[in-house]
């Protein structure tokens, strides 16, 4: 008996075309994401810093605030204190860490001598890093024009 080939009807052939619609959808979503995130990334500078064991992240700098209001009253870390209490608080801060910064805020009507007294007490206590805190200046009018009020 000989086996021959039987003619069969040709079936459906596999589809060889790629459906690009989902690909285009995904690409459009990615473009929208990049458009939104690109301005956020542009503000930072990317660096590849060298690695070393010597550079260890430290604690944030420590500071205390000294405030002298227009009546001459002093405040240490927003707590009203007299001269003796201020000296004790500054000495304690210096004992805890000599690199503690003193942020000095004084009203503009406070006499200069009073500000110098407070600075002197901070330096006597051992705190030599003193920073003056001020507000941003009022925007001045261009030269040659009078300010209108």
CATH code: domain of residue 68:
3.30.420.270
Termini Cα distance of the chain: 117
Position 149 scores a pLDDT of 45
Q: Is residue 89 part of a domain?
A: yes
Q: Which of 31-40, 48-57, 129-138 has the highest mean pLDDT?
A: 31-40
- Percent pLDDT > 90 in the chain is 29
Token look-up 């024009």 returns 145
What pairs with residue 63 in β-bridges?
101
Which position has the higher pLDDT, 101 or 3?
101
User: Quick one: DSSP state of residue 61?
Assistant: P
Give the distance, in angstroms, between the CA of residue 141 and the centroid of all CA atoms in the same chain: 31
Contact of 66 with 104, CB cutoff 8 Å: yes
**43, pLDDT greater than 60:** no
In which domain, by residue range, is 79 found? 63-131
Residue 83 lies in a domain: yes
Phi, psi dihedral angles at 96 (to 5 degrees): -65, -45
Q: What phi, psi does 121 have (nearest 5°)?
A: -65, -40
Q: pLDDT band for position 135 (50/70/90)?
A: confident
Tell whether 100 is covered by a domain: yes
| pLDDT attached to residue 81 | 92
Asked if residue 30 belongs to a domain, the reply is no
Q: Let me know if residue 126 belongs to a domain.
A: yes
CA atoms within 13 A of residue 116's CA, in its CB half-sphere: 3
Q: Considering the domain boundaries, does residue 49 fall inside one? A: no
Answer with the residue of higher pLDDT: 38 or 103: 103
Residues 6+ apart with CB under 8 A from 101: 61, 62, 63, 64, 127, 129, 130, 131
Please report whether residue 119 resides in a domain.
yes
Q: Report whether pLDDT(36) > 80.
A: yes
Number of domains in the chain: 1
- Average confidence (pLDDT) over 90-97: 90
Question: Is 117 part of any domain?
Answer: yes
Question: What pTM, to 2 d.p., does this model score?
Answer: 0.52
């Amino acid at each position: 008996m000989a086996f021959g080939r039987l003619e069969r009807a040709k079936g459906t052939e596999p589809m060889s075309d790629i459906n690009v619609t989902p690909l285009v959808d995904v690409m459009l979503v990615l473009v929208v994401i990049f458009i939104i995130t690109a301005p956020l990334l542009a503000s930072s500078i990317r660096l590849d810093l060298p690695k070393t064991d010597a550079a260890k992240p430290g604690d944030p700098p420590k500071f205390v605030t000294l405030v002298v209001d227009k009546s001459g009253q002093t405040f240490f870390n927003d707590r009203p204190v007299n001269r003796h209490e201020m000296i004790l608080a500054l000495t304690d801060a210096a004992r805890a860490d000599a690199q503690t910064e003193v942020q000095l805020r004084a009203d503009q009507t406070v006499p200069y001598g009073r500000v110098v007294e407070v600075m002197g007490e901070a330096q006597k206590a051992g705190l030599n890093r003193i920073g003056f805190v001020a507000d941003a200046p009022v925007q001045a009018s261009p030269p040659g024009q009078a300010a209108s009020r």
